[in-house]
Structures are given as C-alpha cells and as structure tokens.
Structure 1
C-alpha cells in the first residue's frame, strides 16, 4: 500500500496487453522461488506445496480449446493475494503433467489471459503493470461502473484470443478460504457475450465457465505465531497482554477464541466511540441479542455501515447494495477525485488551482480509508471459527484484525506477518455450459438479465461446493 496521497495524480491509463512468451517463461522458471519467498526471502513463510484436484478436466478443456471446439473462462476463487501465483502454477505445471499422464497432447504454453485490478499497479508500482501486460493481464478499474476499454479487450480475447481467460468473480480477496463472497455478475455476462459474438461470426464453438476453488492450510499449525500476533495486536490496541503456554493448554482453541472475541469487542467499542465523537454518528451503545457472538457481529456490521456512510456523505453517494457494492462505488468516486481525467495537464495548472486539486485528492484519500477498513471485514460472520476451530481460521481472523490496526496506525500499510509455510489445494469443478443456456434465451433484455443472475447464482453454488 502506498503512502498517503497528498497531491492530485494524472489519470490511470489503460495498460494494453502485450503478451510475450519469453517473459511468461521467465516467470515460470522463477515461480517456485516466488511462491516460497514472495515478500520476505529470510522468512520460512511462503507456499511450499500446491495440490491440484480434477486437473484432468482442465487438460481436456485445453485440448478441445486448441482444436477450436470450445472457448472457456476460468472462474477462480480469490481468498488471498497468492491466488494468481497458485493459478499460474496449476496451469504451467500441474495441468501439463496430468495431460502427459493421460496421453493428452497439448500445445504450449498452457496458460490463460487474466483480468486484474488496475489499482494493483498503484499499490505495488508501475513495474507490475509492465509484467502483467507481458504475461496476459487485462487491467480493469474495479470501481468503475463501465470500464469500456477493459471490457471490450477482455471480450475480444475471450472470443478470439489464443488462450482462455481467467477471472476472479468475487472481484477481490476476502481473506477467508472457507467463505465465498457474493459474486459480481461480470463473469456470467462475459459468458453470454462470448456466445453471442460467436453466433454473429457463424462459429460453432461451445462456451464454458469453469469454477476453480482455492484453499490454504499450514504445513504445521502455527499456534505459537498466532499467540505472538494476538499479543502484538493486544499491545498495539492498548489491551493488557494475555500470554499463555500453548503447549500446556488443554483447550487452546477456546482460549484463542476468547482472546479474539475480547480484542474484537474492544476494537469495535473504540471505533464506535470514534465515529460518535468525531463524525457525529448515531450508533447505539447496546444491541439486543441473547447471543454474544451474534451481538458482536451485529455491532460490527452496524459499524461498517457507519464507516461507509461517512465516506458516502462526503462523496455525495447514496448507499446502495451490499457492503462490497458500496465499497466499489466509493473506490470509483475516490479515484475520480485523485486521478483527474478532467485535468489534461496537471503541471500546467496555476498554483492556486493546483493547490485546490491537491487538497481534494488528499481529502479523498483520507475518506477512502473508511472504505478500506470495511473491505477487510466483508466476509466476517459469527460462526466461521466455531464451525471449524482450525489454526487456519484463527489465523485468517487474526490477520484481518492486523490489517485494520495497520491501516489506522501506519502511514504505509505494511506487509502481513507470515505465520508459517503454507500449502494450497486447487480443485477444478465441472464446467458450466453457457451455450446451452443461451439456446433457450430470448432477446428480451429482462430475460437476459435474469439469465445472467441465474448463472451467477449457479456459479456461486458451484464454487461453494468446492470448499473442503
């Protein structure tokens, strides 16, 4: 995450895909090292093993694709930032290996175009845009209602590209391997567009959407690291430390759960008072509920709603949709204030107008921080840990609280602490035929919208079934 934005910026231009097989090959050579040591080469905390289930499904689909029989889109889960790297490993190593084992002949490279958030180059640096453009990336303004150039490029590649295309239908990572966030309708819409474009071109390929699930686990349960991280968060927030002897505790999961609830309640209480006092928001001090966990989640959701309203009031936006929808609209509004498309030459502005533009950009960045806090908790519910009190779920929840505190106390958003070596399981689901659905579809706009909605829901169910 970059430092606070204190001046207006030029528009974020579209980064044209310039696929380069040589750059892709270099990435493939470096991939095992990147997976292990992506951010901190000196820490034992990367991904050491990736398992692919049902990879033969993708192998057969690639064979049909290369024979011009089908077009397909890979709709993959997006719980963590490492997901694209795991997908690259799946396509570059696991699928070719399975294809060889089953006697399926594939042309190289076995790869895909992919859609990524244009904001990633803001947070990481311009070098990422250069790299992604060379390995098949299509940037999209995640918050824009209609990023025409990105959509048209992705649509063209879906129909005519030499490779399939991959998209994360959740739109962003939610930090939960065991929860699928509500899907955005773009993937289903792209599927119907592809069928329509093929029909207009008198082409007979069948169009599929392939659900792919990704889940992470730790090679060794990191209870001691979770204890360390909780202690750090308790200290940073002002709570007294509660050190425990993990090895001697007969019920360590219950102790950690109590600590997470205690820390969560404290942070929520502090943030509620923050918004009452400084943003004059009406937040109830008590919520009627006989269930402590549910009361805590109700307070969290009310707090998230309040944080979004503070930002929405500044940008003049009416609250519409779920938390994710509202975050996307606020991101669009904030970027419009910071990356000024209405100012063709920022450096040519007189000092007075430049000062006003910088003022607006800095304030927009501050207001967007309310939205960034909410983004971390869009998938949190009252039963996630209790359903499966695993080290992975404790770690995920604790890391989300780390994200929140880091965004508040640091001028830069530091990288997450790594709690140990991780393993990934990638599961390929059964392909969903979009062509079959299109055959029974009328040209009525309402019918098309309904078909997109049904397909989106069916894809959501398919992804949820892939959770272990």
Structure 2
C-alpha cells in the first residue's frame, strides 16, 4: 500500500513478439534461477508420454491445444518452463520421438503483473510469446490476440483456468469459463478457415512437497507472526483440537493449537477493525451453532471476507454480485479505471487543479483496492484445511497465507515470502479434453456447452491432486 500513487495513462496492450534469442537466454538461466531464487530443488513429471504425443500431433498440424495448469504458487511458471524445455525433450529422445525445437508454449498472463513486478516483465513476457488479458472487463484486444495465437500461433497455448495463485496444493479454486470459451472459439475459427485440426484442452496438475519437513522454520515463522500480531506465545489461548484429529507428534499438536490461536486472534482484530472504522455489523455466530472450532473459524472468516469486499464495492459503487473471485476481479478493474485513465487523452494538458484531483482519485483507488487484495489472498482458505489433513505442506501453506496478510497490513512486500525449506515439484499431465467433439452441443446451447466443459475441466484438475 502506498500514499503517493499518481494518475497514469491507460494501460496499453503489450503484443506478443516471440524472440528466439531471449528464449534461449531464459532457458540457459532457468536452472540457475531455480537454484538461487526459488525453493525448488527437484522437478518431476508424470505421463510425459501424453504431452510428447500432443506436441508431435501439434507439429504435424493435426491438433491445436491449450495447457490448462493448476496455479498453487508463483513458482509455477518456472516449473512448467523447465518441464517443457528440459524434461519433455529428454523424455521424447528416450522414446525415439523427434520433436521440433523449441517445445514451448504461448501463455496468457494478467495485464496487472507488470504493474507490481516491473515494466521489464511486460517486455520479457512479450519476448517469450506471452499475451496479456485484463481479468475484470471485456478485453477485446486481449481476446483477439488469444484467438489468433490459439489458431495460428507457433506453439500451443497455456493458461491457468483458476486465474491466479491460491496458495493451496490440494484445493482447486472455482475455475473461470474463459478457457472453455477460448476452446470453442478456436474450433469456430478453424472451421471458418476450412481447417481440420482437433482442438483439445490438457489439464496439468502441480504440487509442491518439502524434501525435509520444515517444522523448525514453521515454528520460527509462527513466533514472528504471533509477535507482529500482538499475540504472545504464552497467551493462554484455549483451543482444544477435536478428538478425531490425530497428530504424529506433540510438536504437531502444539503447532496446530498455535496456528488456530493465531488465526482466531487475527480474525477478531480484523472484525473489530471493520466494525469500528467502517461501521459494518458482522454476523454474530454462536459456537453452539457449529460442530467444532474449525467450522467456527471457517464461518467467521467467510463473513469477514464478504465484509471487506463490500467496503471496497461501496467505495467504487460496484454491485455485490458473483462469487468471491468475480467480485475481486471487478474491484481490481474498477481500481485500475481510476488510476489508469482511459478518459484522459493527454495527461500533460491537464491543469494543475485537474491533475491534483486526478492524482487524488488514483491514490484513493489504491487505498480501496487494499481491501480486495486482502481477500484475494484468502480466496481458497476454508478454515478447515489443516484440520482435514494436518500435513506439513498444509501447515506451511496456511501459515504463509497469514504471513501474506500481515505483510500487506504492515505495508511490506508480500511477494518476498519466506522460504521454509527446499521443495520437490510433482507435475502430472492429465487426459486431454476434446473441445471439437462438443461442437454440436455448443451450437445447440453455447452457455450449457461452456459450463459443461468448465465443470469437466474442474473435475479433471481435482483428480490430479
């Protein structure tokens, strides 16, 4: 969060412009980057023979396909690039399958990424064949680029149907229907061009596992979060785990108690924050109305997230409509509309008074988007994730999400997450879903066909966990 945001010209489209030299440089640097800048120590891929066959058919002009990958972590792009450019060619060679190089993919990215990661990222993504999209509005220019690449691009397409990272290895966020719609558009465009390629969507699962359980690092991080939130490790918080919840060790049981204690403490502080300063009446939930403390945390958390979104929606005059992800996207776009002004053709021609007012609006937009960013970090949080399976990965994911939240509130950089330990990445290629075979259904009812394909993709991604 910042208080010196100034009005900016509208966000221009960044056209994809694949550059083989830039790609080769990134391919060379990737192993070094993985070792030095990420916790990733090992990447494995299952069912690579499926991907080998798909690339072989693609390069023979028999199919067009889109890789739809799970997006639990910001490190996913590195894992996928390593898989496509290191593991895939190696496996193809072992099977005596000759693939044209490079085995790359055009990818769809959020236009907002270069805003927080740096403008050079927009240039880099362009040079790697990426194409941007505005998530919160009908982006005709972005969609036109995607359609063109899907039909005529040098490589297959790649995108995350979840739309953003959710911080969870074992939860798939509700996926957006855009991927299915893109598939049907590709079929339509191919038929219009009298081409016979089949269109497929290929689900890919990604999961991260700690090579050595980082319990000690987790304890230190929890202590830091307890201190930052004003909760003493010896506060006497009474949280008794349910009888059915079994732990391997006393250390896990204590960490579970501390984690939920911290969660309830932060929850109470945030509820008081929105009640006192934003005059919101959160629902009073009696512990007797739920079965256990985990369910109570879940219900209160969802009420808090809804309240935070309503505060932002009221500021931007955005109607409360859709699921949490839809609401976040609409608020993000509303904020951008106040900062990146499409209605101002030339900022240099504004009078000092007009410029000052425009800067004020941009600053307020940034402040109001802060509420949405908090919610965005917790889109997939259920409150029962660790309770259902108290693994070290689930402990770590939940603790890191709390770190994200406290870091945003402290006005720190949420993209500099602590690294708890070295990780192994497991990638699994799922069975392709044919879009072409659903064309008749699409002609009969576009909405139903898109919804059915979206649901089938959701199911396929969940089966890869």
2:379 is paired with a residue of what secondary structure? coil
Measured after TM superposition, the shift of residue 338 of structure 1 is 0.6
How do residues 83-162 of structure 1 correspond to structure 2 at under 5 angstroms? 83-144=76-137, 146-162=138-154
CA distance in 2, matches of 1:205, 1:386: 47
**Cα contact 2:442–2:448 (8 A) shared by 1:** no
CA distance in 2, matches of 1:286, 1:59: 53
Aligned equivalent of 1:167: 159
CA distance in 2, matches of 1:119, 1:207: 29
1:106-137, CA deviations, whole angstroms, 9 ceiling, x for partnerless residues?
Answer: 00010000001111101011111111100111
CA distance in 2, matches of 1:61, 1:15: 29
CA distance in 2, matches of 1:284, 1:387: 25
Measured after TM superposition, the shift of residue 441 of structure 1 is 2.3
CA distance in 1, matches of 2:297, 2:386: 14
Aligned equivalent of 1:42: none
CA distance in 2, matches of 1:338, 1:133: 23
CA distance in 2, matches of 1:333, 1:94: 41
Aligned equivalent of 2:365: 364
1:210 is paired with a residue of what secondary structure? strand
1:91 is paired with a residue of what secondary structure? helix
How do residues 61-460 of structure 1 correspond to structure 2 at under 5 angstroms? 61-144=54-137, 146-242=138-234, 250-287=249-286, 288-410=289-411, 412-413=413-414, 415-438=416-439, 440-441=440-441, 443-444=443-444, 447-460=445-458
TM-score normalised to structure 2 length = 0.95
- Tell me which moved more, 304-313 or 410-419: 410-419
**Cα contact 1:4–1:411 (8 A) shared by 2:** no
CA distance in 1, matches of 2:128, 2:39: 22
**Cα contact 1:5–1:365 (8 A) shared by 2:** no
CA distance in 2, matches of 1:242, 1:460: 43
CA distance in 1, matches of 2:176, 2:442: 23
1:154 is paired with a residue of what secondary structure? helix
5+ unaligned residues in a row in structure 1: which ranges?
39-44, 244-248
CA distance in 1, matches of 2:66, 2:4: 36
Measured after TM superposition, the shift of residue 413 of structure 1 is 3.7
CA distance in 2, matches of 1:391, 1:231: 17
**1:55 pairs with 2:48:** yes
Measured after TM superposition, the shift of residue 362 of structure 1 is 0.5
Measured after TM superposition, the shift of residue 416 of structure 1 is 0.6
Measured after TM superposition, the shift of residue 3 of structure 1 is 4.4
1:443 is paired with a residue of what secondary structure? helix
**Cα contact 1:195–1:434 (8 A) shared by 2:** yes
Aligned equivalent of 1:465: 463
**Cα contact 2:301–2:383 (8 A) shared by 1:** no
Measured after TM superposition, the shift of residue 160 of structure 1 is 0.7
CA distance in 2, matches of 1:210, 1:406: 36
CA shift in 2, pair 1:17/1:219, >3 Å = same
1:441 is paired with a residue of what secondary structure? helix
Aligned equivalent of 2:243: none
Measured after TM superposition, the shift of residue 388 of structure 1 is 2.1
1:387-440, CA deviations, whole angstroms, 9 ceiling, x for partnerless residues?
Answer: 3211111000000000000101125445111111111000000011111111x3
CA distance in 1, matches of 2:412, 2:424: 32
Aligned equivalent of 1:41: none
**Cα contact 1:376–1:400 (8 A) shared by 2:** yes
TM-score normalised to structure 1 length = 0.94
1:353-400, CA deviations, whole angstroms, 9 ceiling, x for partnerless residues?
Answer: 111101111111111000000011111113321232111110000000
CA shift in 2, pair 1:57/1:242, >3 Å = farther
CA distance in 2, matches of 1:352, 1:130: 34
1:432-457, CA deviations, whole angstroms, 9 ceiling, x for partnerless residues?
Answer: 1111111x32635xx11110000000
CA distance in 2, matches of 1:257, 1:376: 21
CA distance in 1, matches of 2:436, 2:47: 23
CA shift in 2, pair 1:347/1:241, >3 Å = farther
Measured after TM superposition, the shift of residue 253 of structure 1 is 1.7
Measured after TM superposition, the shift of residue 300 of structure 1 is 0.4
5+ unaligned residues in a row in structure 2: which ranges?
236-247
CA shift in 2, pair 1:321/1:395, >3 Å = same
